[in-house]
Amino acid sequence: MSLHVLSVASEAYPLIKTGGLADVAGALPGALAPHGVAMTTLLPAYPAVVHSLGKAKGKVMHRYADLLGVEARLVRHRLGALELILLDAPALFARDGGPYSDRNGAEWPDNWRRFAALGRAAADLADGLVPDLSFDLVHAHDWQAAMAPAYMKFTGAGRTPSLVTIHNLAFQGRFGADIFPRLGLPAEAFSIHGVEYFGGVGFLKAGLQTTSAITTVSPTYADEIRDPEFGMGLEGLVSARRDVVSGIVNGIDTEVWNPASDPHLAAPYALSSLSKRVANRRAVESAFDLTEGDGPIFCVVSRLTWQKGMDVLADVADSLVGMGARLALLGSGDPALEAAFMAAAGRHPGRIGVRIGYDEPLSHLMQAGADAILIPSRFEPCGLTQLYGLRYGCVPVVARTGGLADTVIDANEAALAARVATGFQFHGVTHDAVIRALQRAVAAFAQPKVWASLQKQGMKADFSWGRSGQLYADLYHRLTAA
Ligand code: ADP
Ligand code: GLC
C-alpha cells in the first residue's frame, strides 16, 4: 500500500539550510520514494526559499484570513523530486536574516508565532483543509514543527498518526506562559499532558508528549537522551515514552556527495583513483593559505559552538601544529570561538587557516582535499560531516557519542587487523583525549598503508539512505496500521 506523508520542517536543502536538518529533510522524500511512500514537505516561505524557486508561481491551495493573527496562504510547488507546500505568511517569514534569527544572530521575538503557525497549518492539512489532498501521517522535525501533533490532538479530528524526529534536543522552543492564550488551543492543553513545560510553553515537549511515535537520528542518541546529561530536561518524558522511541541513523545524499562527480572539486576521484585527491589537497592548501608539508591536514566544517567541542579544539590548536599537522577550519557561530580560531591562525600562519562563514562549495572541497576531519562534539544526535568524510576518504576523528559512535569504526588494533577500521574515536571531550586522538591520527598518517586502508574502508561503507529509508517506511506503515 502506498502512503502519503506530510513532512514538516523549518529548513530543507537545497532551498534553505543552516545545518544537518536541512540535508535530512531535503533527502527524505527521495529516500522514501523507493519504499512506496510519497512525501510532501511543508516549509515556511522565507525569502531564500522564494528566491530558490525563481519565477515558478506555484498553486494556491488555501488562504487563511487569520492564522494565529496573520494572513497566510498555502502554496504548492515542486522542485526536482521535492513536492512542496509553502506556508506563505509575509508578516512572519518575509524578512532579511536567517530562518530563526536576524542578521546579528538575535532570535526573532515572534518565533513562537512563526512556528506555531507552521504546526497549525500542518494539523489543518492533516484534517483535510484542502479538498482532495489527504495525508496518512504527519512527520514533524524538531521543535519548529513539533506543535503539529499538539494541534492535531487538541484542535483536530485526531485521526492521523504522527511522528516527531528529534534532530537536536538542545533546541526546545521554550516560551513564557503568556503566549498560551494566543496559540488558539483549548485551556486543557496547558497541562503536563499538553504544551505546559516547567510553567511555560514548550514546543518540543508538546510534540513529544502528543505524537504517536518519536525517533532520533541515531540509536546511540536515542539511548543517551534518557540520561539527564543528554536529555536536557526532557529525559523523564523520553524515558516514560520509551516504548515509542527509536533511533534511525541519517543517510546521506550520495548524488550531492559523490567524489566522482562533485562539481566543487579540483579533481574528481573514486576509490580506485585515490591518488587524484592530491589536486584537491593542493586546492585546500591554497584556499587556506597553508604552506606545503608532510603532516596531515585536519579540517573542520562546523557550527562553532559548545556542542561541537570547538572550545577544546581551539585550546589544543597549538599542540596540533606542534605535531607537524595543519588545520583548515570553515565555520561560524559563537563570536568568542570565531575570535579564538582567528587568533590561532594569527599565531601559526601557513599552518592554521580559518574561514569564518558558510560556504557549501568549499565544504565539499575540504572533504576531498583534507586528510582527516575533526569532530570533537560533546553530543551529536547523528552528525553528517563524518559521513561525508567517510565517503570522501577524509578520515573522521570523532568523540564517541551519539551518531558519531554509531558510524565511525575506531582504528584500534583489533579493527585494524580485521581491516574494518574507518577512523578514530576518543572518549570524553577533554584536552588530553583530543590530543591523544590527534597523536594517533598523526602516527597512522605516517604509515601510508594503514592510512590508505582507513580511507578505503570508509569509502566502501554504505551510508546511502537505503537502509534508513526502509526503517522509516516500516515505521510509517506500523503507525498507520495501528
Ligand atoms: P549540525 O546540524 O548539528 O550543524 P551536522 O553534521 O548534522 O551538524 O550537519 C551540518 C551540515 O552543515 C553539514 O552538511 C555540513 O557540511 C554543513 N556545514 C556546517 N557548517 C558549514 C559551513 N560553515 N559552511 C558550509 N557548510 C557547513
Ligand atoms: C542536528 C544534529 C546533528 C544531526 C542533524 C540532522 O542538527 O545536531 O547531529 O546530524 O540534526 O539530523
Does residue 259 form part of some domain? no
Q: Which atom of ligand 1 is nearest to the CA of 386?
A: 6
Does residue 258 form part of some domain? no
Task: Give distance in angstroms: CA of 301 to centre of ligand 1.
Answer: 6
Q: How confident is the model at residue 106 (pLDDT cuts 50, 70, 90)?
A: very high
- Residue whose grid cell is 559563537: 334
Q: Which residue has the higher pLDDT, 81 or 31?
A: 31
Q: Which helix (H) or strand (E) holds 392?
A: helix 385-392
With a 6 A CB cut-off, is 380 part of the ligand 2 pocket?
yes
Residue of minimum CA distance from atom 9 in ligand 1: 20
Express each pLDDT in 118-142 by its tens digit. 999 999 999 999 999 999 999 999 9
Q: How confident is the model at residue 81 (pLDDT cuts 50, 70, 90)?
A: confident
Please choose from 10, 139, 166, 168 the residue to mutate so as to test ligand 2's pocket, defined by most ligand atoms within 8 A of CB: 168
Does residue 263 form part of some domain? no
Answer yes or no: do 245 and 282 share one domain: no
Answer yes or no: do 324 and 223 share one domain: no
Task: Give distance in angstroms: CA of 156 to centre of ligand 2.
Answer: 30
Task: Give distance in angstroms: CA of 407 to centre of ligand 1.
Answer: 17
Answer yes or no: do 310 and 167 share one domain: no
**What is the value of pTM for the model shown?**
0.96
With a 6 A CB cut-off, is 220 part of the ligand 2 pocket?
no
With a 6 A CB cut-off, is 171 part of the ligand 2 pocket?
no
**Cα Rg of the chain, angstroms:** 23
Question: Chain-centre distance of CA 70, in angstroms?
Answer: 30
Q: Which ligand is nearest to the CA of 220?
A: 2
- Which cell numbers in the block locate residue 121? 497549518
Does residue 262 form part of some domain? no
Rounded mean pLDDT, 294-320? 97
Instruction: Look up residue 118 and give its amino acid.
Output: L
Answer yes or no: do 337 and 245 share one domain: no
d(CA 352, CA 299): 10
Please choose from 305, 332, 358 the residue to mutate so as to test ligand 1's pocket, defined by most ligand atoms within 8 A of CB: 358
Answer yes or no: do 289 and 212 share one domain: no
- Residue whose grid cell is 577550519: 329
Q: Which ligand is nearest to the CA of 385?
A: 1
Q: What is the pLDDT of residue 157?
A: 82
CATH number at residue 45: 3.40.50.2000
Residue of minimum CA distance from atom 3 in ligand 2: 383
Express each pLDDT in 387-428 by its tens digit. 999 999 999 999 999 999 999 999 999 999 999 999 999 999
Average pLDDT in the chain: 97
Q: Which atom of ligand 2 is nearest to the CA of 250?
A: 12
Domain span at residue 108?
3-251+466-481
Q: Is residue 40 scored above 70 in pLDDT?
A: yes
Locate all alpha helices (DSSP H) within 400-463, ordered by sequence. Answer: 402-407, 413-417, 431-445, 448-460
DSSP annotation of 290: P
Answer yes or no: do 170 and 277 share one domain: no
Task: Give distance in angstroms: CA of 463 to centre of ligand 1.
Answer: 17
Are the CB atoms for 236 and 224 separated by under 8 Å? Answer: no
Does residue 329 form part of some domain? yes
Does residue 264 form part of some domain? no
Rounded mean pLDDT, 162-185? 98
Q: What is the pLDDT of residue 18?
A: 93
d(CA 210, CA 190): 12
Does residue 223 form part of some domain? yes
Q: Which ligand is nearest to the CA of 300?
A: 1
3-state secondary structure 121-137: HHHHHHCCCCCCCCCCE
Task: Give distance in angstroms: CA of 283 to centre of ligand 2.
Answer: 28
CA distance from start to end of the chain: 15
Answer yes or no: do 148 and 196 share one domain: yes
Rounded mean pLDDT, 450-472? 97
d(CA 469, CA 474): 9
Are the CB atoms for 390 and 291 separated by under 8 Å? Answer: no
Q: How confident is the model at residue 1 (pLDDT cuts 50, 70, 90)?
A: low
With a 6 A CB cut-off, is 296 part of the ligand 2 pocket?
no
Does residue 194 form part of some domain? yes
Answer yes or no: do 243 and 339 share one domain: no
Residue among 82, 79, 86, 78 at smallest CA distance from 39: 82
Rounded mean pLDDT, 187-194? 97
Share of residues in the chain with pLDDT > 90 (%): 96
Residue of minimum CA distance from atom 22 in ligand 1: 358
Answer yes or no: do 87 and 234 share one domain: yes
With a 6 A CB cut-off, is 303 part of the ligand 1 pocket?
yes
Answer yes or no: do 384 and 452 share one domain: yes
Please choose from 301, 354, 367, 463 the residue to mutate so as to test ligand 1's pocket, defined by most ligand atoms within 8 A of CB: 301
Express each pLDDT in 230-274 by its tens digit. 999 999 999 999 999 999 999 999 999 999 999 999 999 999 999
How many structural domains is the chain composed of? 2
Answer yes or no: do 28 and 8 share one domain: yes
Answer yes or no: do 275 and 246 share one domain: no
What lies within 8 Å, CB to CB, of 333 at 6+ separation is 302, 303, 304, 305, 310
Express each pLDDT in 338-397 by its tens digit. 999 999 999 999 999 999 999 999 999 999 999 999 999 999 999 999 999 999 999 999
Q: What is the pLDDT of residue 470?
A: 98
